[in-house]
Amino acid sequence: METSVERGAVVVGLDATPSARLALAWAADEAARRRLPLHLVIAADAPDLAGSSAELASLWTSWGPEIRAAYAPVLEEARDFAVQRHPGLRVAAELAGGSPVAVLRARVPGSSMVVIGSQHRGVVRDLLSRETVGLPLVADAPCPVVVVREPEHVTHVPPHLVVGVDGSAVSTEAVRFAFEEAAFREARLIAVSAWQPPIHGQVPADETEREAWRALSESTAGWPDKYPQVELRHEAIRGHPVQVLAEAAKYALALVAGSRGLGGFPGLLLGSVSQGLLHHAPCPLIVVPHRAG
């Protein structure tokens, strides 16, 4: 298996759960659209045995190699799937040692984006779950992180993407990526700003709404000129950001959002809002980091 990541590759973290196939298909399609290489990686390593019993440690020592070996055909099947889906796509496959977070973090530098699945809670253990992998990657990855919790809505006409806007530099970066993605997909873009009246009423509700419309205008200024083929629509909607964005993206190809937001909604998509969208986004969620400077 190859172990080095080709520069600019789309990296997708896989496991043996059904959600991994959704993430794999999304990542393969994205790599093909952008004419980038695809890097598949499965992290197969011992669990944290600190404080565990000697019996458990002995059991893993016995079964660990067999479990890692069991992932090899899964990885080969994933590679075959990607190549058959997009003939000519450059695909590397890697079985790596280490925790999923550590493995993916080590492969982020130089990558164009990282894609993971998001298994619904159930009997099958989710090795690349929203909580254990999604949040740590979203918090500090220098490239976009895509969490494929639900399939994209390809049958909705016209096809569209949704981008969350809060007026910060972070959401402006998300807008940039969203325009680029919409252009690749020949889709329209809906920029959405959620607003809520101040709790104690220091600021009139109509002023808060005007600020939301102003944020939309300023954050998207200039981008329609760079991407004239992308039809843009603004929506300022009253409500909590998680509910507003999830509802707006109900039939979207993807929902694009920023991380480390410090604008109209401090911490937007890094604290409770990010966790909410990781759980409730009705389509693939693309979290775009703010590139300082």
pLDDT digits (tens, 9 = 90+) for 14-62: 987 777 899 999 999 999 999 999 999 998 765 555 566 666 566 556 5
Let me know whether 113 and 243 are in one domain.
no
CATH value at residue 270: 3.40.50.12370
Closest to 23 measured CA to CA, from 14, 32, 35, 36: 14
192, 213 contact by CB (below 8 A): no
CATH of the domain at 34: 3.40.50.620
Domain final residue, candidates 128, 148, 168: 148
Q: Considering 82, 113, 148, which residue would you say is the last residue of a domain?
A: 148
Query: How many structural domains compose the chain?
Result: 2
Q: What is the pLDDT of residues 190-240, one digit of tens each?
A: 999 999 877 665 656 688 889 999 999 999 999 999 999 999 999 999 999
At which of 148, 171, 194 does a domain end?
148
In a domain, 134, yes or no: yes
In this structure, the answer to whether residues 144 and 166 fall within a common structural domain is no
| 14 within a domain of the structure (yes/no) | yes
User: Are 136 and 191 members of one domain?
Assistant: no
Domain of 88 in residue numbering reads as 10-148
Same domain, 18 and 140: yes
Whether residue 107 lies inside any domain: the answer is: yes
Pairwise CA distance, residues 36 & 96, whole Å = 22
Highest mean pLDDT of the ranges 123-137, 176-190, 197-211: 176-190
Q: Same structural domain for residues 103 and 174?
A: no
CA separation for the pair 163, 47 (Å, rounded): 37
Whether the CB-CB separation of 37 and 88 falls below 8 Å is answered with no
Other Cβ atoms closer than 10 A to 24: 24
Domain co-membership, 47 together with 93: yes
Q: Is residue 2 part of a domain?
A: no
Whether pLDDT at 10 is above 70: yes
Q: Are residues 142 and 164 in the same domain?
A: no
